[in-house]
Structure 1
Amino acid sequence: NWQVNNESTSTGVTSPGGKRKRRNRVPEKPNYPLNLWSIMKNCIGKELSKIPMPVNFSEPLSMLQRLTEDYEYAEILDRAAQCTDSCEQMAYIAAFTVSSYSTTASRTGKPFNPLLGETYECDRTEDLGWKAVSEQVSHHPPMVAQFCEGRAWRCWQEFTMASKFRGKYLQ
């Protein structure tokens, strides 16, 4: 007897024992043939966030969720918080920073742009020891504010990106 939990944006499924069952993979991308060049040739000089793209070019999650995935290796921050040597602590922080690129080679889809004022909360305190909250605070240019708190550390960031497609390169 499983129960759907509408209070959460995670999988939202709770077992009879009350333990949350989390999704462990994203659904497969539909296999629809599209010609990327036929879409992009009319977009030269436009800002990428304003270019309408077919839905199947996107990942089935929002940019707020995607940014929260950067905390996948947050145990590195737990180790950094325990360090007494500042050089070793900085090495752990650097390792955490580059860990967010661990999945970029296999992820070619673009996350959905969040609506202005949209929020995303991820509470992993029970299993991973951290929780995060993100909000889309500006739409043009797109900007996200995020706060994450772990066992012995806090992290906050403002993320914004503006890029234009110039035909042969991105600016």
Structure 2
Amino acid sequence: MFKGQSEDDIEILNENTKSMLMQFMGQLKIGMDLTKIPIPCDFLEPRSLLEKLTDFNTHAHLLTTAMDDDDPIQRMVHLVRWYLSGWHVKPKGVKKPYNPVLGEVFRCNYELRENGLMTCIGEQVSHHPPKSAIYAECKQKELLLEGWYYPRSKFLGNSAASITEGNIKITFGSRGNEVYTATWPSVYARGVIFGKLIMEMAGKTKIECKKTNMLAEIEFKSKPFFGGEYNVVSAKIKHKKKTIYQIRGKWNEKLYIKGKDSDKNSEELFFDVRSAEVVPKHVPPMEVQKDNESRKLWDNLTKAIKQNDVQLAAIEKDKVETEQRNVKKEREQQGQVFTPKLFKAGPEDFWTFVGFE
């Protein structure tokens, strides 16, 4: 095991899975777009990407804590804590969530105790290229969260990359509509040909609030070929371009914070995955979900994966994909163009939530 790895990071493949992976890799060329290549069911996480995007609210109480702080610098500190808390929820090894079908919807809510409910909803607004739009609100706290997620998957040799475009917009209504914008990191599956299979996040992201002149510069660090550790992240919180705080650690374990001019011994624990409060998530029961809602849509595939029945999983996955091809063909024959029900396209790929179904 490499330094910085945990057992949950690494995928140990059996012979059948190795053979399937090599057959899959034989189809690929460096630089190839993977969004149109079927992923073997062995490497699927049993849920839709739309549901995975709501993991950001696993510690949603950190958002309301940020809103309640009267100090704009501390509001950004709390917001960075929330942002960095959203990445550790993942399955063991290297798994990819289902690609949502066009028009697919996922909805849930999170209990925020005395702060009421945070309601979340997402819709797949485009299939080629894939684009997901998400929205969350807590009316009691006048809190809005809007997101646009545009992954571009590419084969890079010994890695498969999901290069992410889009952003997250957080609005604190009770702070005079104070707006924060954040970007997404990219995700890499390393060791797809040789070495251990492991999922890694890498790249520079930022959170910015122009109203308060606050900026957080965040770097998810890729492990060097020799030495180094996995899952390392660092951040600088700046006010009017001056660094106020520095953060370091591992996004899947512990993070530490210190003032810019403080020595390392003055570091304080910033976030601990193992002891952090988890906000309960509630998804509507299957019997009240519509046919285009994620859990109902993918139910048979999910059951097959959880039963480790790879052959049945492949059959169920093909059923969904075939149905979607038929829907697309019928729409084209009728001269219709798909229009999202919950979101409306705006300038620069900005998607505005227009209302619940």
TM-score norm. by structure 1 comes to 0.74
> Is 1:34 aligned to residue 20 of structure 2?
no
Structural mapping, 1:71-150, within 5 Å: 71-104=57-90, 106=92, 108-125=94-111, 129-150=117-138
- Whichever residue aligns with residue 57 of structure 2, its letter is Y
Q: Offset at 1:102?
A: 1.8
Q: Offset at 1:74?
A: 0.4
Instruction: Pick the structure with more strand per residue.
Output: 2
Q: Offset at 1:130?
A: 0.9
> Is 1:158 aligned to residue 165 of structure 2?
no
Secondary structure of the residue aligned to 1:93 is helix
Q: Is the contact made by 2:45 and 2:91 (CA closer than 8 Å) also made in structure 1?
A: no
Q: Greater Rg, structure 1 or structure 2?
A: 2
- Whichever residue aligns with residue 158 of structure 2, its letter is K
The Cα RMSD (Å) is 2.2
- Whichever residue aligns with residue 26 of structure 2, its letter is K
> Is 1:56 aligned to residue 51 of structure 2?
no
Q: Offset at 1:159?
A: 0.5
- Give distance in 2, aligned partners of 1:94 and 1:148: 18
- Give distance in 1, aligned partners of 2:86 and 2:126: 23
Q: Offset at 1:134?
A: 0.2
- Give distance in 1, aligned partners of 2:152 and 2:159: 14
Q: Is the contact made by 2:133 and 2:149 (CA closer than 8 Å) also made in structure 1?
A: yes
Secondary structure of the residue aligned to 1:141 is coil
Percent identity between the two aligned chains? 31
- Give distance in 1, aligned partners of 2:71 and 2:79: 13
TM-score norm. by structure 2 comes to 0.37
How many equivalent residue pairs? Answer: 141
1:26-80 CA distance string (max 9 Å, x none): xxxxx78312233113212321221111222101100000001211010100100
- Whichever residue aligns with residue 47 of structure 1, its letter is D
- Give distance in 1, aligned partners of 2:55 and 2:159: 27
Stretches of structure 2 lacking an aligned partner (at least 5 in a row): 1-13, 162-357
Stretches of structure 1 lacking an aligned partner (at least 5 in a row): 1-30
Q: Is the contact made by 1:123 and 1:130 (CA closer than 8 Å) also made in structure 2?
A: yes
Q: Offset at 1:123?
A: 2.3
Distance of aligned partners of 1:170 and 1:55 in 2 relative to their CA distance in 1, 3 Å threshold? closer
Q: Is the contact made by 2:55 and 2:89 (CA closer than 8 Å) also made in structure 1?
A: no
Q: Is the contact made by 1:125 and 1:131 (CA closer than 8 Å) also made in structure 2?
A: no
Task: Give the structure 2 partner of residue 67 of structure 1.
Answer: 53
